Amino acid sequence: MADLPDPFRDDRQTSGVRRFTLGEESMPMILRHADVRQAAKDWHTFSSDAPFRVPIPSEEHLRSVRQLPIEVDPPEHTDYRKLVEPFFLRAKQPEFVTQVDAISARLLNEALSRGRIEVVSELALPLQSRALTVLLGVPESEAERFIGWGVHVFHGEHGVQQARQLESYLNAEFDRAEANPGDDFYGVLTKASYRGRPLSREEKLGFANLMFAGGRDTVIHSVAAAIGYLAEHPQSFAFLREDPGRVVHAAEEFFRAFMPLTHISRTCPVDTDVHGTRVGPGERVSLCWASANLDETVFEAADEVRLDRRPNPHVSFGFGAHLCLGAAHARTVMKSVLGLLCERVQGMRVLAKRDRVERTESYERPMGYDALEVAFE
C-alpha cells in the first residue's frame, strides 16, 4: 500500500531535476539520491558560503548573523565544527539518554492520566523543549520559555518579531556566560578558541541561532508524524510492541519517510550545468532531501513505511561535511518516546487531526500534522 505521497516521483524518474520557483527566484531542485549526495559532498561547485541563503526561503529578513557552521565551507567549516561537535555528541551518553527518558515518561504519564493528548502541542513541543535544555546544559525551567514560542517559531505571520526575540534572548545568555562562563552551551562557546582567538559575539550567536532555528521544529514534527503514523496503523504499532528492540530501525524509517525539511540550498560560485540546467554565478540550487529519501532505485517500496527497513541510507540528517550536528539528539528523543509508548500503551487511535502540508508554486507536500489528537487504549 502506498503510504507516502511523492510530488517529485515523475521528475526524479525522468530528468532528475525540477524547477522550483519562489517569488522572483527560480532554481533547479536536484532530486535523485545519488545526485543529491554527490552535490552535498562537492562544496567547490555547490557552496554553503552564502550567509542567510542556505535555508529555503532565504532568511535575510529573519536574522542578522550567519549560522555556524552550516553557512561556511571547508576548511573554515571543519574548524568551526570541531569546536562544538563533542558537545552535541553528549546526546549518545547514557546519562543524557536517562534524562530524556525521564522527561518522556513524565509527559506520557500525564497524557495517560487524561486518556488523550494533542500530540504536537502537548507532547512533541514540550518534549523537545525540555530535551533541548538537557542538550544546552541549562535548567529545565528554561523550557517554559521555549514552549511559549510555540511551533513554526521563525516563520509565518510573527516570524520576524520572534526571530528578534530569539536574538535578544541569546545575547542575554551570552552576557551571562561572559560574566561567569560555565559548562553549558553558552559557556562552552564563550571559552572556545577558534584559530587561536576567542569567538566573536557574532560567531557565538551564529552557533546558537542554528541550535534553535534548525534543530527545534524539525524534531517536533518528526515525533508527531511518527506517533500519528502508529495511531493510524495499529498493525505497525503492534509490530513494534512485539519487540521494542525494533524501535531503533523504526526511528530511522520515520526520519526517512517523514522528512520535516523538504530541501536546502547551495550556491554555485561559477557558471554551472546542473543536469542540463544552467545555473549562473551566485545563483542557488536545491538539494531535495525529501525526494532523495523516496528514490525507488535506493529504497525498495520507497513509498511504504517499513519499520524494519535495512539498510536505510536516508539523507534526513544531510550528507557529507554538513551532516547534522543534532542527529544524535534527534535520534535519542525519537527512540525515547517510541520506546516508552511501546512499554506503556496498548493502542492508540486518532480522534482529530489537521494535516501539515507545504504548499509552494512548484509542489504540494504532506509533512505530518499541525494538530493531532490521539486517544490511548
Task: Tell me the pLDDT tens digit for each residue of 188-212.
Answer: 999 999 999 999 999 999 999 999 9
| Amino acid at the residue 281 | P
Residue with C-alpha cell 512533541?
A: 124
Task: Tell whether the model's pLDDT for residue 1 goes beyond 50.
Answer: no
Please give the share of the chain, as a percent, with pLDDT higher than 90: 89
- Please give the Cα distance from 294 to 297 (Å, whole number): 9
User: What domains can be seen in the chain, in order of their start residue?
Assistant: 9-148+215-376 (1.10.630.10)
pTM for the model: 0.96
Task: Tell whether the model's pLDDT for residue 242 goes beyond 90.
Answer: yes
Beta sheet of 25-30, edge-to-edge order = 17-22, 25-30, 284-287, 264-267
Distances (CA, A) of 63 to 148, 166, 223, 248, 263: 20, 9, 27, 36, 20
pLDDT class for 320, splitting at 50, 70, 90?
Answer: very high
Per-residue pLDDT of 262-296, as tens digits, reads 999 999 999 999 999 999 999 999 999 999 999 99
Strands 25-30 vs 284-287: parallel, antiparallel or unpaired: parallel
| pLDDT (mean) for 82-99 | 97
Distances (CA, A) of 72 to 29, 88, 258, 322: 21, 19, 27, 10
- Please give the Cα distance from 75 to 183 (Å, whole number): 27
CB of 62 within 8 A of CB of 160? yes
Per-residue pLDDT of 108-136, as tens digits, reads 999 999 999 999 999 999 999 999 999 99
Q: DSSP secondary-structure letter at 47?
A: B
Strands 197-198 vs 193-194: parallel, antiparallel or unpaired: antiparallel
Q: What is the pLDDT of residue 158?
A: 64
Q: What is the pLDDT of residue 39?
A: 98
Task: State the Cα torsion 70-71-73-74 to the nearest 10°.
Answer: -40
Mean pLDDT of the chain: 95
| pLDDT (mean) for 360-373 | 93
Q: What is the pLDDT of residue 155?
A: 64
- Please give the Cα distance from 372 to 120 (Å, whole number): 6
- Please give the Cα distance from 292 to 313 (Å, whole number): 10
Task: Tell whether the model's pLDDT for residue 30 goes beyond 90.
Answer: yes
